Chain A
């Protein structure tokens, strides 16, 4: 019996026994739908993290010199204490690197802490105050809705000027024009010279609750002790030049810290890869957990299908006997029942794919999680669906194929 014939027969039987087939569909359906749904969330967040998150936090071809990594998930206390004992990054370190790098780069200083910013009787609390040098805006790729960034001259002289994040401007000035107004940060008045375009949010965290002041302005004292930086940002023109700049910076820092060749760095040079690795760690956990759920539902689906197929074989013993007496070989009977279970599972997988895509779109729409359908998950869904069908069908089908035609025909 050709394959097409077996498949046609399978579809006929499925249509004739809708309820029974429906139940067997369900297991595979749930398995495939959850596979696609979960995978798509991971996939969506993944893309989001690599394309937006990392770029926003670090910028392209940019690295940061820090005392310790920016993202520190699950660090044991001992490591944490070791990090805390490290010397901090000093203005002089930044200056030495700026002077020593031979690749063309753009650099900025950065120190941040949370403060309250006020205008007359209005307050904006928990605002990230960043004391930075003038190229910070270029490196972070921050555009201006109104006004301008501060200049190199303003930075060096420590002019009391401030650039507001969109949310801060909204909070303090609402409809009024903020330019030229004076806000207070740590009791010191700062003149507003610009507002950065709205940055939106990442995974529900707002990105517009910040103010930026010149690195040498009085507010620096609110953030770090004199002469100390949180991070020194370096942006190169290309990935290659960034690598070169990193290794040069590493050499300069090791020299300044008098580290012997066998000693580890007591500072970090982080790129956006660091964050991506952090995320990759999380997504790896998801990718490990995810198949567990999927496998459980597929196994259940498989068992249901196997049971239903065994019932079908028992019920249709006579039919099998008849088919054999009419010339069906073992492999014909085998193929017929395998096609049936595979068709059930594949149809289940088909519905599962539709539901999975629907689920993904729904999640993308109503939750803060970004989700996008992973094409691979659809391919895998189909393969697994068909695989479960075959696996669950083999035993019942081989039982059917081995039936003795005489006994089978005699069965009532």
Chain B
């Protein structure tokens, strides 16, 4: 914010810039018409920022989320994540980036119903190729960080909504990603549980974690230090909040 770099094509981002998008566009060919979901989004997010992305439905926030999460590739423009240009990577390389650099937290938790909390958290480490013992240690540690050290052998249906989301957060953290990417993380939770989850986020942010969160709820966005609002595929507002 204070050190916003004027980025031109061909440049590399400054070292403290975790996320940099430059004129990012994404178009979907729906047969009869071309949907331009993003029409040139340029944002920079620094290390240890806590950013909320807002916007009405159709504003392109989900598309931006998918691009930042490396689940999708842009039609044009550049995307740099943690000093690496990921906008022109291919499928399996993106999978590696998702595994190492990004921790996803979903609205619907997306836990494996048959696996216990520990195994759910272990999942990203399996794809990282860690040994079984190593995985268990790290997964247990991540669960302790979110306050679920005593629920490791519980299956998702034995946990409350808030606990499930905390398992999902532990899973997102277990690979020590550059960014924690949350998509409507409180969308399926009541307000008490929501604030509980927001406390977890605040705590992680306090420990130095970069957090990017997509939400349409004002009071949830209020937990973030910076709010980016999208409208019609472009950035409408981008403002820091008073802490």
Interface of A toward B, CB cutoff 8 Å: 1-2, 5, 12, 16, 318-319, 322-332, 405-406, 409
Neighbouring A residues of B104 by C-beta, 8 Å: 325-326
Neighbouring A residues of B35 by C-beta, 8 Å: none
Question: A405-B71, A406-B66, A406-B72 are known contacts. Are A329 and B114 too (CB-CB below 8 A)?
Answer: no
Interface membership of chain B positions 94-109, coded 1 if the CB is closer than 8 angstroms to chain A and 0 otherwise: 0110111000101000
B95–A328 CB distance below 8 A: yes
Q: Give Cα A16 to B91, complex, Å.
A: 31
Q: Give Cα A91 to B128, complex, Å.
A: 89
A1–B98 CB distance below 8 A: no
Question: A405-B71, A406-B71, A409-B110 are known contacts. Are A326 and B96 too (CB-CB below 8 A)?
Answer: no
A326–B91 CB distance below 8 A: no
Neighbouring B residues of A405 by C-beta, 8 Å: 71
Neighbouring B residues of A2 by C-beta, 8 Å: 129
Q: Does B162 contact A (CB under 8 A)?
A: no
Q: Give Cα A5 to B123, complex, Å.
A: 11
Query: Which of B106, B112, B124 touches A327 (beta carbons < 8 Å)?
Result: B124
Q: Does B69 contact A (CB under 8 A)?
A: yes
Neighbouring B residues of A1 by C-beta, 8 Å: 126-127, 129
20 more A-B contacts (CB under 8 A) besides A325-B104, A329-B95, A330-B91? A1-B127, A1-B129, A16-B114, A322-B112, A323-B123, A323-B127, A324-B71, A324-B95, A325-B69, A326-B99, A326-B123, A326-B124, A327-B124, A327-B128, A328-B95, A328-B127, A405-B71, A406-B66, A406-B72, A409-B106
Provide a sorted-by-A list of 8 A–B residue pairs whose CB atoms are within 8 angstroms.
Answer: A2-B129, A318-B110, A319-B112, A324-B95, A326-B98, A326-B123, A406-B72, A409-B71
A interface SS class: helix
The range of chain B's interface size is: 20 to 34
Neighbouring B residues of A328 by C-beta, 8 Å: 95, 127
Q: Give Cα A333 to B231, complex, Å.
A: 36
Neighbouring A residues of B66 by C-beta, 8 Å: 406
User: In chain B, what residue has the closest Cβ to A13?
Assistant: B114
Neighbouring A residues of B128 by C-beta, 8 Å: 327
Q: Give Cα A23 to B66, complex, Å.
A: 39
Query: Which of A322, A325, A330, A406 touches B92 (beta carbons < 8 Å)?
Result: A330
Interface of B toward A, CB cutoff 8 Å: 66, 69, 71-72, 91-92, 95-96, 98-100, 104, 106, 110, 112, 114, 123-124, 126-129, 171, 175
Neighbouring B residues of A319 by C-beta, 8 Å: 112
CB distance from A14 to the nearest CB of B (A): 12
Q: Give Cα A1 to B129, complex, Å.
A: 6
B96–A327 CB distance below 8 A: yes
User: In chain B, what residue has the closest Cβ to A12?
Assistant: B114
B110–A327 CB distance below 8 A: no
Q: Give Cα A319 to B112, complex, Å.
A: 7
Query: Which of A5, A16, A322, A331 touches B110 (beta carbons < 8 Å)?
Result: A322
Neighbouring A residues of B123 by C-beta, 8 Å: 323, 326
User: In chain B, what residue has the closest Cβ to A331?
Assistant: B92
CB distance from B105 to the nearest CB of A (A): 11
Neighbouring B residues of A12 by C-beta, 8 Å: 114
CB distance from B150 to the nearest CB of A (A): 24
Q: Give Cα A322 to B124, complex, Å.
A: 10
Neighbouring B residues of A324 by C-beta, 8 Å: 71, 95, 98
Neighbouring B residues of A409 by C-beta, 8 Å: 71, 106, 110
CB distance from A407 to the nearest CB of B (A): 10
Query: Which of B92, B114, B129, B171 touches A326 (beta carbons < 8 Å)?
Result: B171
User: In chain B, what residue has the closest Cβ to A318?
Assistant: B110
CB distance from A335 to the nearest CB of B (A): 11
Neighbouring B residues of A322 by C-beta, 8 Å: 110, 112
A329–B127 CB distance below 8 A: yes
Neighbouring A residues of B175 by C-beta, 8 Å: 327
Q: Give Cα A327 to B100, complex, Å.
A: 8
Neighbouring B residues of A323 by C-beta, 8 Å: 123, 127
Q: Give Cα A326 to B95, complex, Å.
A: 8
Q: Give Cα A16 to B175, complex, Å.
A: 28
Which 9 pairs show the lowest CB-CB distances between chains A and B?
A327-B99, A327-B127, A329-B95, A326-B124, A329-B92, A322-B110, A405-B71, A327-B98, A406-B71
User: In chain A, what residue has the closest Cβ to B175?
Assistant: A327
Q: Give Cα A202 to B199, complex, Å.
A: 86
